[in-house]
Every structure is written in structure tokens, then in C-alpha cells.
Amino acid sequence: MKLVGGKGNYAYACARVKARKQFLLTREVYSRLLVMDVHEIGRFLGETQYSEEMTLYASGHSGADLVEVAITRNLAATYSDILNFTTGNLRDMVANYLRRWDTFNVKTILRGKFSGADEEEIIDTLVPAGAFSEAFLKTLVDKESVGAIMEELSKYSSLRITSELEREVVESGKLAPFEDHLDMILYSDLLEVLEPTTNATLLLKNFVRREIDVANLKVLLKLKVEEFPEDKVQKYLIPGGMEFSMSKLRTLAQAKGTSMILEEMERSSMYDEIKPSLDRFKEDNKLSGLTIALDKALVRTAEKFGRYYPLSVLPILDYIIRKKAEIDNIRIIARGKEKGLSNEVIEGLLVI
């Protein structure tokens, strides 16, 4: 699917997003949140841009649950607002980038059904910011079985669900191959639709390719640490990366352990950003710090190119990514406090 809209309202949309950026939480605010308990965090958020959602959901939720549902719904509302005030091919690009939330929501609903989660609990974790409306997602949650959900999803040609995939999910209860399929089509469709007709669009396409690199590196490291067989590792790899081609990824999948993967990461353009975490991983073999470093590298890349072309899709994408990082950080702090984690541990998990 190619972009078909008109030029788009770049100046207006970028001005709106620039105004929103001033409300993003600063490093200083995160430091303040770290010394609060969960209830104090909730009261603080009730005086910020999250006040409407904190008030709306306070009657049915409390503590970290209230914080999580409020910030998640705020994220969905924010992304919907951006779509509403963009037009033409600018809106097309934003909409296609936000399709990842369709993938996220489908995965969330199916995982919830398999785990026997309460319907309200599933709905609270959804982010209806893609092509699938909140009303449609709720109809999926209302379905009595995984089979009924898959049957409904198979009607959408954009998901390209084969009878084999549907059968694998329903009969064997295996979600991983289907989730892998959703990620594959998400990125392949996004790369296809982003025609590099301008420098800004080329930067956006290259950023998406870097996202693919990061996703593949995370999968390789995780499965190698867990000693998955080589053939199974390859099934989870996504084509289209910037620096890590499929042939290189296959070679890394065939190698024993993680040493060759680490060597390739040291030769990558991300090395300076991830070096401290890479060195720590070599000593303790703990993945969390390294995967967080990869996420931070992506956020910083978005921040940099968001300044290159101030009247393009790039500042909007930068805000979309930073807003998502903020939601993740608040959730990590609230849940960490709930579980009694130390401030040092929680801070190490933040992407700031």
C-alpha cells in the first residue's frame, strides 16, 4: 500500500507536537518520582497531563493498577489526537507507523484469553491507536474463544492470516509463530509504504530499519542465552534491517553462544551508545541492561533526527517515541515501587 494522501499539514502538525513536547517528563521529574511511594506518584500524576485519566479511572482502580491504566489510556488518546490533527501523506505515514499498536493489541487479547485474564483487565491494557478501533477491539475481547477471535481476524486481509496459522493458534495453543508473523508483516508493510522521496522520509525509513536491527539483536541474544537450536532462532528474525542483513543474522544464529553477536555489535554504529552495557553483559550475562541500552540508542537516534528537518514527519515521530518511553518509565517506577524494588534497580530499568 503506497501513500496516497495530499502533501499534508506539516507546519501546523509540527507546531502542535512541539507544544506537547514541553509536557514530557524531565530527568529531574523522574528523580522526584523515584523517592515517592505509589500513592504519591498517583497524586503527582493527577496534577499533570494525566489528570483526566487519573480522575476517570480512580473509582475502579487504585495504586499501580490505577497509574498503569491511566497512563495507557492517555497514550492512546495522545496518538489518536495526533492522527486527528494530521492530514494527507503526513497522516498516512503516522498511521502506518502506529499500526504497531494493532499488532500489540491483537497479541495482548490473545495472551489474555489464553491466560484466562478478566475481560476488563485485558481492555485496560489495550492501546487503540492503530487502525483497529477501541469498539472493534472490545468485540474481540467479548469473543468466547480464541478460535472465534482468530476467525474474526482472518477476515482482515492486511493481517494475511493463513489457515495454517489459524489452526496452529487454535489447535496447538502456540502464539509465538503467529506473533512472529504479525511482526514480519508490520515491518515489511511499513518499509514498502515509506518511499524515500525526501531526505526526511529516507531518515524515517532508515530509522525503521534500525528498529528491525534492534528487534533482531534482542531476539538473537535472548534465544542464544536460552540455548535455543539454530533453526528455531532463525524463525524469529525479521528481514529489512539497516546494518544486520539476513545473511549476517543467519551466520550469527549458527554461531555458538553470544560472542560473535557481541563482536558484530561492537562494529555497529550503536557501539558508542551501548558500550558500557555491552561490557557489563560480558561480565554478568544479564540481558536486561543491554536490551535497555539498545532501546535508549533508538530513542536518542529519534531525538537527533527530529531536529534535522523541523517541518517534516521526523519531529512527530520523535514525540511518538519519547511519549511511549515516558509511559514505559512511569509504569516501571510504579510497578517497581509496588514490588519493593530499590531505587537503584528501578532507575537502571528506565529509558531516559
Task: Please say if the pLDDT value at position 226 is more than 90.
Answer: no
Reported as a single tens digit per residue, the pLDDT across 96-146 is 999 999 999 999 999 999 999 999 999 999 999 999 999 999 999 999 999
- What is the per-residue pLDDT for 88? 94
Task: Please say if the pLDDT value at position 1 is more than 70.
Answer: no
Q: Compute the average pLDDT of residues 188-217.
A: 93
Q: How far apart are CA 151 and CA 166, in angstroms?
A: 8
Q: How far apart are CA 4 and CA 110, in angstroms?
A: 33
Task: Please say if the pLDDT value at position 229 is more than 90.
Answer: no
- What is the per-residue pLDDT for 177? 85
- Note whether 83 and 137 are within 8 A (CB): no
Reported as a single tens digit per residue, the pLDDT across 40-95 is 999 999 999 999 999 999 999 999 999 999 999 999 999 999 999 999 999 999 99
The pLDDT > 90 percentage for the chain reads: 85
Q: Compute the average pLDDT of residues 159-169.
A: 92
* Exposure class string for 302-316: b at 16+ Cβ within 10 A, else e: beebbeebeebbbbb
- The mean predicted confidence, pLDDT, of the chain is 93
Reported as a single tens digit per residue, the pLDDT across 170-197 is 998 889 889 989 999 999 999 999 988 8
Task: Please say if the pLDDT value at position 244 is more than 70.
Answer: yes
Instruction: Give me the sign of the Cα torsion angle 246, 251, 254, 260.
Output: negative
Q: How far apart are CA 74 and CA 96, in angstroms?
A: 20
pTM of the model: 0.92
- What is the per-residue pLDDT for 306? 84
Confidence of residue 6 (pLDDT cuts 50, 70, 90): low
Q: How far apart are CA 24 and CA 75, in angstroms?
A: 12
